[in-house]
Structure 1
């Protein structure tokens, strides 16, 4: 019974409050990035961006904990934190690519895919405790999504979305 209790006793290097703060920040920042996509009625909106950001933060925290685990302190075991970035980038790129479609001579979904990629980078930064990077990435990403849409519409580079028939003049979705 003691072994079972010991198994469920927190054994992380980071305090649970720090882990909770990093994960909560990732969810919040992912929500900010996904909000504009939700307002633009895109398939990958609020919840998707929040989950991508959260998952990236979880992977980052797991990587930090793995590096600190005594079982991996042997000289035979080498940890390469860059592999984490590569794995998250590849995974999210695959997911984001699913939103990019070519239909009737137009490419759609590029902005949504890019937003998901940014959400993963933001989550990775939050998971690693790189608060300034996570916050600035989120702020600038939200700024680009919100302001550039208005600018493109104002300059008539893109037609405003017609909510009535679900069609959009936006080519980058």
Structure 2
């Protein structure tokens, strides 16, 4: 594989992962710009390593009896990102927080994987559709479930000015 192609795929995965991370960062989520950038970059690097392994083990160049399956590393990326995503899901009282960020990390890994395989159009369209769902569908989700505390709604404060959930108010 040409060095410039390899570098280009890594850079594209990093940039596209960063685009998805910026939206999460703007929403002050735990997994933001840097996390999404690293997930896409790591996924791309694993994918390139997987693809490169097949190239290294070409017939006549590989040790006798050795074989490679480039799908093995990709499947492990999906499992690993599931574990990472589970780490950003939190339960606060009766509410579950972080599901969208976990799903966004999973999509970011797919974008990195697609960049590693050279599927640039799929990676770009995936980022566009993910941003569409994150930004454009937010008001739709708020309209469908207008409860305080869901989809970024602020919880209503009680008459004395304390937060409705009984926590200490934020300093002003």
TM-score bin, normalised by smaller chain: 0.7 to 0.9
Residues 59-93 of structure 1, C-alpha deviations (whole Å, 9 max, x = no match) = 11111111111487345112112211211011111
List gaps (5 residues or longer) in structure 1. Answer: 1-13, 168-173
In structure 1, C-alpha distance between the alignment counterparts of 2:151 and 2:40, rounded to whole Å: 30
1:99 aligns with 2:88: yes
Q: How does 1:24-173 map to 2 (within 5 A)?
A: 24-70=11-57, 73-154=62-143, 157=146, 158=150, 160-162=152-154
In structure 2, C-alpha distance between the alignment counterparts of 1:106 and 1:154, rounded to whole Å? 18
Q: Distance in 1 between matches of 2:20 and 2:96?
A: 21
What is the SS of the residue equivalent to 1:137? helix
Structure 1 length normalisation: TM-score?
Answer: 0.80
1:149 to partner: Cα distance: 1.2
What is the Cα-based RMSD across aligned positions, in Å? Answer: 2.2
Unmatched 5+ residue regions in structure 2? 158-162, 164-172
2:111 touches 2:126 (CA, 8 Å); kept in 1? yes
Question: Contact conserved, 2:18 with 2:37, CA < 8 A, in 1?
Answer: yes
SS of equivalent to 1:79: coil
Larger Rg: 2
How far apart are the structure 2 equivalents of 1:159 and 1:16? 43
- SS of the aligned residue for 2:88 comes to coil
List structure 1 runs of 4+ shifted beyond 6 angstroms. Answer: none
Of structures 1 and 2, the one with the larger relative CO (CA 8 A, separation 6+) is 1
Report how many aligned residue pairs link the two structures.
Answer: 152
